Amino acid sequence: DYTGYGKSQGTPNEDSCYADIEAAYRYLLSVRKFQPEQIVLYGRSLGSGPSCYLAAKSAREGRSVAGVILQSPLLSAYRVAFNFRFTCLGDKFPNIDYAPSIRCPVFIVHGTQDEVVPFWHGQELFLALQQVWRSKPFWVEGAGHNNIEALLRPTGAFVDKLLEFLDLHVSARRGRVRPPVVVPECVPAALRELGITNPMMRLDRMTTTHAMGRT
């Protein structure tokens, strides 16, 4: 848990969340010996803030993480309540300002009936990304803020979508550790490496494979 959240001690604040995710990232690099190209950030709701922050920072430092998954993300804290067209002084977790600096594929999941972080946050954040890093988003029809997993559990669609993103956009998933590749190029390359010659067949084949892995 981030500082001040869940069972963690301390007072919750933006800077502590950023420090926490940087500490976890350093642990993966220095202790577990992972490469940035092997790391995919996953941020849900408020967690989208630290994830966007670290993704943008790693890109600025010249070695981006492999990818980012954002579930029910917010544009910024103030924008949850007010549809500001700019970032106000004192606003927290300004993901919309970090998004243009991200240099890896980003997959956004958002419920169309989200009652906490409005659906348009996911849509606007998607548009704030550079076009070449936009993975096809997953807009979950009728889902709210806290029931996406439950709504999709009977079909397994949620897990299938996550695995499809990893398979097609993260080379380390296929045993090749290399820098992120723009979406228009990485998807065709992944299909070739996976031996899928007909893109129309990829969902059926990949979904079947993932379903077998869960049994």
Q: How many angstroms separate the first and last alpha carbons of the chain?
A: 30
Q: Is 145 a catalytic residue?
A: yes
Count other C-beta atoms under 10 Å from residue 129's C-beta: 23
How does DSSP classify residue 137? P
Asked whether the CA dihedral 56, 57, 60, 64 is positive or negative, the reply is: negative
Q: Is 171 a catalytic residue?
A: no
**Alpha carbon 55 to chain centroid distance?**
9
Q: Is 45 a catalytic residue?
A: yes
Q: Single out the residue of 193, 185, 26 nearest to residue 104, CA to CA.
A: 185
Active-site entry in 45, 91, 97, 210 = 45
Active-site entry in 20, 145, 160, 167 = 145
DSSP per-residue codes, 99-121 = GGG--S-EEEEEETT-SSS-HHH
Active-site entry in 20, 114, 160, 167 = 114
The residues that are catalytic are 45, 114, 145
